[in-house]
C-alpha cells in the first residue's frame, strides 16, 4: 500500500504535523498512525477493503528524507471525505488526530504540533467579536486591554461579587473573568449572579466585558449560556476541560456572547515531557477556529513564567486567528511595559492577586494597574 505523497493536497486532506519517535523508523510509525487512524489495522488488510476504498479514505504521509530515522517530524493528511463537520465536529477531528494508534508499541512518543486545515466557514466560524470587536465594545484602543479576575475563586455570595465588580469597574478594568472554579455552587448560583451583575453593568457609563464561568457537560453548557444571555449577560468563560466542542457549540448557537478560552489544567494534555501530548499552540489554533474571542496564553515574568519563545509563538497564532491573547498568573504593573515591548499592544493583562491583595481594597489595586497601562 503506497500512501506516501510528495506534496500536500489541501483540497482533499486536512494535514497534521507530528513529532514522533519509533522502535523501528519514522516511516513505519507514520504509516501505522495514518492507516490505523483512517481505514483500519495498519499491518493486516481486510477482505472488505477495495483499492477504491483505500484511495478515497486512507490517510497520506508527506515524504520526508528522515523516514529511516527513529525520530523526526512528519505530516499526515486525513481525507475530508471521512468527516462530516456539522455532525462530527472538533471532537471527531481530535479522534482522528490522536486516537487509538497512540497505544501501539512501535510509536514510543507522539506530539501533535500543527494543523493545516480548510474547514467550512459555516461550521467553524471563528470569533464573533475578536480583537477589534472587544476594543470597539470597551472603547479601549492603542494599548493592552485590562482584565480583572474574580478572587477568591469560590465561597463568595452574589452580593459580594457585585460589590467586587463595582470596585473593579471603578478601578478601570475593560474585562472581568470569573475564575474557572466558580461553577454553580449554592452560595453563588449562576442565574442569581448573572442577574445582579448584568443589571449593574448594563446601566454603567463604561461598557466592559464580563465572562461568567459556565463549565459543564455537553448537555448543560448551552443551557448555562442561555441563562447568561437571557439574564442580560454578554460573555462566558469556558475552561479547556469542558471540551473544544463546547466553544464551537456556543459560537454556532447564534448567541451573541463573548467567549473566553481558559487553559487552566492544560499541562495534563500539553506538557512536552509526556510521551504523548498536544502542543498548546495547536489548541490555540483550534480555539480561534471554534470561536473564542479571548484566550489565556500563559505568562511572562509571573509566578508561572513560561518560555518566551513559546509564548511569542502562541500569541502570534492567536492573533492570526483574531483571538485576544490574555496573560496572567502573577501579572502586576511592573510587567506591563516589558511585556508590551516584546509582544505589542494587542494583548490583555489579566490580574487577580495583585488587585485584591491591595491593603486599600480591590479598587485601588485596579487603579494601580490601570495607571501602568495608561502610562505606556
Domain locations along the chain = 4-116, 130-374
pLDDT, greater one: 225 or 265? 225
- Per-residue confidence at 48, pLDDT binned at 50, 70, 90? confident
- Look up residue 101 and give its DSSP letter: G
Report CA dihedral (99, 100, 104, 107) to the nearest 10 degrees.
-10
Average pLDDT for 173-201: 97
Topology given in CATH for the domain delimited by 130-374: TIM Barrel (3.20.20)
Spelled out in words, what is the top-level CATH class assigned to the domain 4-116?
alpha beta
At residue 100, the pLDDT reads 80
Q: Per mean pLDDT, which range of 91-105, 109-123, 181-195, 339-353 is the poorest?
A: 91-105
At residue 101, the pLDDT reads 79
User: Which tens digit of pLDDT belongs to each residue from 97-116?
Assistant: 998 878 888 999 999 999 99
Q: In this model, does residue 43 exceed pLDDT 90?
A: no
- Per-residue confidence at 163, pLDDT binned at 50, 70, 90? very high
Q: What is the mean pLDDT of the chain?
A: 95
Average pLDDT for 301-318: 91
- In the structure grid, which three cell numbers stand for residue 180, read together? 474557572
Q: In this model, does residue 299 exceed pLDDT 90?
A: yes
Domains 4-116 and 130-374 share a fold: no
At residue 285, the pLDDT reads 94
At residue 302, the pLDDT reads 85
At residue 321, the pLDDT reads 95
Across the chain, where does the E strand assignment appear? 4-5, 13-22, 60-62, 71-79, 107-116, 145-149, 175-177, 209-213, 235-239, 258-262, 276-278, 294-298, 324-327, 348-351
- Per-residue confidence at 336, pLDDT binned at 50, 70, 90? very high
User: Which tens digit of pLDDT belongs to each residue from 197-240?
Assistant: 999 999 999 999 999 999 999 889 999 999 999 999 999 999 99
Which of 41-50, 184-193, 295-304 tops mean pLDDT? 184-193
Q: In this model, does residue 72 exceed pLDDT 90?
A: yes
Phi, psi of 77 (to 5 degrees): -105, 125
What is the percent of the chain where pLDDT is above 90? 87
At residue 42, the pLDDT reads 77
pLDDT, greater one: 128 or 48? 128
At residue 44, the pLDDT reads 74
At residue 104, the pLDDT reads 84
Model-level pTM? Answer: 0.94
User: Rounded to whole angstroms, how far apart are CA atoms 332 and 360?
Assistant: 16
Overall residue count recorded for the chain in this entry: 376
At residue 151, the pLDDT reads 93
Look at the alpha carbons of 145, 366, 148, 202 in this order and tell me if their dihedral is positive or negative. Answer: negative
Amino acid at each position: 500500500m503506497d500512501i506516501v505523497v510528495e506534496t500536500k493536497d489541501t483540497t482533499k486532506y486536512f494535514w497534521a504535523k507530528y513529532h514522533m519517535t519509533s522502535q523501528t523508523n519514522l516511516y513505519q510509525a507514520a504509516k501505522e498512525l495514518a492507516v490505523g487512524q483512517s481505514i483500519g489495522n495498519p499491518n493486516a488488510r481486510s477482505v472488505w477493503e477495495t483499492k477504491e476504498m483505500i484511495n478515497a479514505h486512507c490517510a497520506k504521509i508527506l515524504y520526508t528524507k528522515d523516514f529511516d530515522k527513529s525520530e523526526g517530524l512528519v505530516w499526515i493528511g486525513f481525507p475530508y471525505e471521512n468527516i462530516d463537520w456539522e455532525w462530527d465536529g472538533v471532537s471527531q477531528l481530535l479522534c482522528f488526530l490522536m486516537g487509538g494508534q497512540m497505544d501501539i508499541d512501535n510509536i514510543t512518543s507522539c506530539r501533535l504540533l500543527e494543523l493545516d486545515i480548510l474547514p467550512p466557514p459555516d461550521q467553524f466560524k471563528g470569533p464573533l467579536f475578536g480583537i477589534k470587536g472587544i476594543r470597539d465594545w470597551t472603547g479601549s484602543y492603542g494599548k493592552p486591554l485590562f482584565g480583572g479576575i474574580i478572587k477568591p475563586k469560590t465561597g463568595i455570595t452574589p452580593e459580594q461579587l457585585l460589590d467586587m465588580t463595582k470596585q473593579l469597574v471603578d478601578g478601570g478594568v475593560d474585562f472581568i473573568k470569573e475564575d474557572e472554579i466558580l461553577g454553580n455552587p449554592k452560595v453563588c448560583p449562576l442565574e442569581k449572579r448573572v442577574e445582579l451583575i448584568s443589571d449593574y453593568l448594563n446601566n454603567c457609563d463604561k461598557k466592559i466585558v464580563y465572562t461568567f464561568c459556565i463549565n459543564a457537560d455537553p448537555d448543560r453548557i448551552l443551557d448555562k449560556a442561555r441563562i447568561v444571555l437571557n439574564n442580560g449577560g454578554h460573555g462566558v468563560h469556558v475552561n479547556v476541560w469542558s471540551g473544544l466542542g463546547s466553544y464551537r457549540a456556543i459560537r454556532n448557537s447564534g448567541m451573541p456572547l463573548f467567549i473566553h478560552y481558559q487553559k487552566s489544567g492544560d499541562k495534563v494534555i500539553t506538557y512536552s515531557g509526556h510521551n504523548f501530548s498536544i502542543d498548546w499552540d495547536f489548541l490555540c489554533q483550534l480555539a480561534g477556529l471554534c470561536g473564542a474571542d479571548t484566550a489565556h496564553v500563559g505568562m511572562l515574568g509571573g509566578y508561572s513564567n513560561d518560555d518566551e519563545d513559546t509564548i511569542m509563538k502562541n500569541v502570534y497564532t492567536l492573533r492570526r486567528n483574531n483571538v485576544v491573547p490574555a496573560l496572567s498568573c502573577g501579572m502586576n504593573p511592573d510587567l506591563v511595559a516589558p511585556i508590551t515591548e516584546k509582544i505589542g499592544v494587542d494583548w490583555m493583562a489579566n490580574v487577580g492577586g495583585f488587585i485584591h491583595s491591595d491593603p486599600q481594597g480591590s479598587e485601588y489595586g485596579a487603579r494601580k494597574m490601570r495607571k501602568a497601562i495608561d502610562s505606556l
